[in-house]
Amino acid sequence: MVRLGGQSGVGRACDAIKRRAKKLLKKFGVVQDEHKTRRYLGGMRPDKYYDSVIWRDLGETLQILGFTYDSGFDVFSAFIDIDDDNSGEVGVSEFHKWLGFPATKFSERVFGILDMDGSGQLDFREFMIGVWNWNTYDATGITKLAFNTMDVDQKGAIDLHEADAMLRMVYASRKADPLLLTQIDINGDGEVSMEELQQTVEEDNSVLAPAFQLQRMLRQRILGVRYWEQETLRRQTYFAGYDSGTTTSWDAIRDILAIKHRERLEEEERQRRLKEMEEEQRRQEKLQKELKFKEEMVCIRRPVIATPSIVPHAGREEGQASGREASPTRDAGDPSRARSERGTGKV
């Protein structure tokens, strides 16, 4: 049985070794890094264009989808490798030539999923969102995509003629294998439901082998299979609610981006308010410290006033008595005071 949407551990290890070896060869100059010599839009080097234009305008969307600055540049590098004419867009023929996958109606359908505005060309925003969307599909997502190509009226079931067309599109063949048609029509009622196709793929995904091969090749060319397997688990954890139901893949992506953008704005507002509260708290603490310091300085500079001692009552009487005893002596030594007293009749 083929591994759903992935490859063996040996295959992933080989991919990782190849990518590291390529980076080392470029680092030591064994292999020329075309991104250091190439000029992209506006005559800018790709790394400068990415930093000053792509990350500035699309950095938030890249981060919402889980890309870092470096992994986002890897996606951009793949884009400009496809865009060899520096037009800022890639066409379906350029895409297949770069991927090394023969053009089929199904692969063109996948390209059409990436093409949000239906222009037949992908700009980088469409490319990065589409690559993330396709490469993070699990087996259920790929099955749903293949099924929806035929279930245009969204009845949840297709007849055998439509099932035959679906398989011919996936396999790029003129006639579908009758055994496959019998295999996917589990209950034999002449129709194939989404549940029947999903059950068949879960048991043996070789039914849609070319679709999984296309995903695996795109994963290998951009960031590696292991990276996308981890991102697929992340999508199942965080975005499962958006992928359920009858919404199309792009509707789900738009919902994800809109909701995550709103959550980011709310988080930024919460952080702003928290920062303001912390700054106000620090300001109040600083003000309290200044007031306390001023009070301490006033206490240090205030002069100390000595308080006179209080003489007990008995002591005061003794002092008055001694003063009266001493006064005659003072008067006797004062002749003018004596004459005055005689003049007034005082002896």
Tell me the pLDDT of the chain (347 aa) as tens digits: 333 334 445 554 565 566 566 666 655 555 555 666 678 888 889 999 999 999 999 998 898 888 999 999 999 999 999 998 889 999 999 999 998 888 888 888 888 877 877 888 999 999 998 899 899 999 988 998 888 888 877 788 898 888 898 889 888 888 888 888 888 989 888 899 989 999 999 888 888 999 999 999 999 999 999 999 999 998 888 776 666 655 555 666 677 778 877 887 898 899 999 999 999 999 999 999 998 888 888 888 766 555 565 555 555 555 555 555 544 544 445 555 545 545 555 44
Q: For the whole model, what pTM was predicted? A: 0.65
- Among the residues of 177-248, which ranges form H helices? 178-184, 194-203, 209-221, 225-238, 240-243
Spatial CA neighbour of 22 closest among 214, 176, 220, 169: 220
Q: Using CB atoms within 10 A of its CB, is residue 333 exposed (0-12), middle (13-18) or buried (19+)?
A: exposed
Any idea which residue has 């603490």 for tokens? 285
